[in-house]
Amino acid sequence: MQYIGIDLGTSSVKILLMKADGTILSSISKDYPVSYPKTGWSEQNPEDWLRQTLAGLKELLASEEADQNQIKGIGIGGQMHGLVALDEKDQVIRPAILWNDGRTEEETEYLNTVIGTDKLSDFTANIAFAGFTAPKILWMQKNEPEKFQAIQKIMLPKDYLVYKLTGAFTTDVSDASGMLLLDVKNRAWSKEMIEICGIQEQMLPEVKESYDVSGFLKPEFAGELGLTESVAVVAGAGDNAAAAIGTGTVEDGSCNVSIGTSGTVFIASDSFRVGENNAIHSFGHANGKYHLMGCMLSAASCLKWWLEDILKTTDYQGEQQEIKGLGDNPLYFLPYLMGERSPHNDPNVRGAFFGLGMDTTRAQMVEAVFEGVSFALKDSLEIAESLGIEIKKTKLCGGGAKSPVWQQILANILNIEVELLVTEEGPALGGAILAAVACGEYASVEDAARAIVKVKETIKPQPELTEAYARKYQVFRELYPAIKGVL
**Residue-wise pLDDT tens digits, 119-143:** 999 999 999 998 999 999 999 999 9
- Of 172, 206, 240, which closes a domain? 240
Instruction: Write down the pLDDT at residue 368.
Output: 97
d(CA 218, CA 224): 10
Peptide bond into 343 cis (omega under 30): yes
Beta strands in 250-304 (DSSP E): 255-259, 263-269, 281-284, 290-296
Q: Does residue 152 fall inside a structural domain?
A: yes
Instruction: Write down the pLDDT at residue 453.
Output: 95
Residues 351 and 221 in one domain: no
Band of residue 403 on the pLDDT scale cut at 50, 70, 90: very high
Instruction: Write down the pLDDT at residue 424.
Output: 83
pLDDT per position as a tens digit, 437-472 = 999 999 999 999 999 999 999 999 999 999 999 999
Residues 162 and 267 in one domain: no
Residues 223 and 252 in one domain: no
Q: How many CA atoms lie within 13 A of 449 on its CB side?
A: 23
Residues 370 and 418 in one domain: yes
pLDDT exceeds cutoff 80 at 196: yes
Q: Is the pTM of this model over 0.85?
A: yes
DSSP 8-state secondary structure symbol assigned to residue 442: S
Q: What is the dihedral of CA 177, 178, 180, 184, to 10 degrees?
A: 20
Q: Which residues form the domain of 308?
A: 248-423+454-487
Q: Residue 134 belongs to a domain with what CATH number?
A: 3.30.420.40
Residues 406 and 484 in one domain: yes
Residues 262 and 385 in one domain: yes
Residues 223 and 313 in one domain: no
Q: Does residue 442 fall inside a structural domain?
A: no
Instruction: Write down the pLDDT at residue 149.
Output: 98
Residues 192 and 290 in one domain: no
d(CA 9, CA 14): 7
Band of residue 344 on the pLDDT scale cut at 50, 70, 90: confident
Q: Does residue 433 fall inside a structural domain?
A: no
Q: Measured in Å, how far apart are the chain's first and last C-alpha atoms?
A: 54
Q: What is the mean pLDDT of residues 246-264?
A: 93
pLDDT per position as a tens digit, 43-83 = 999 999 999 999 999 999 999 999 999 999 999 999 999 99
Q: Does residue 387 fall inside a structural domain?
A: yes
Residues 319 and 174 in one domain: no
Q: Does residue 443 fall inside a structural domain?
A: no
Instruction: Write down the pLDDT at residue 306.
Output: 96
Instruction: Write down the pLDDT at residue 487.
Output: 60
Residues 191 and 314 in one domain: no
Q: Does residue 89 fall inside a structural domain?
A: yes
pLDDT exceeds cutoff 90 at 276: no
- Of 240, 265, 282, which closes a domain? 240
What string of DSSP letters covers 177-231? GGGT-EETTTTEE-HHHHHHTT--GGGSPEEE-TTSEEEE--HHHHHHHT--TT-
Is the Cβ–Cβ distance between 231 and 216 less than 8 Å? yes
Residues 178 and 125 in one domain: yes
Band of residue 275 on the pLDDT scale cut at 50, 70, 90: confident
Q: Does residue 449 fall inside a structural domain?
A: no
Q: What is the mean pLDDT of residues 247-268?
A: 93
Q: What is the mean pLDDT of residues 396-418?
A: 94
Residues 319 and 217 in one domain: no
Number of structural domains found in the chain: 2
Annotated catalytic residues are 239
Residues paired with 208 in a beta bridge: 172
Q: Does residue 33 fall inside a structural domain?
A: yes
- Of 240, 268, 295, which closes a domain? 240
Mean pLDDT rounded to a whole number for the chain: 95
Q: What is the mean pLDDT of residues 372-401?
A: 91
pLDDT exceeds cutoff 80 at 179: yes
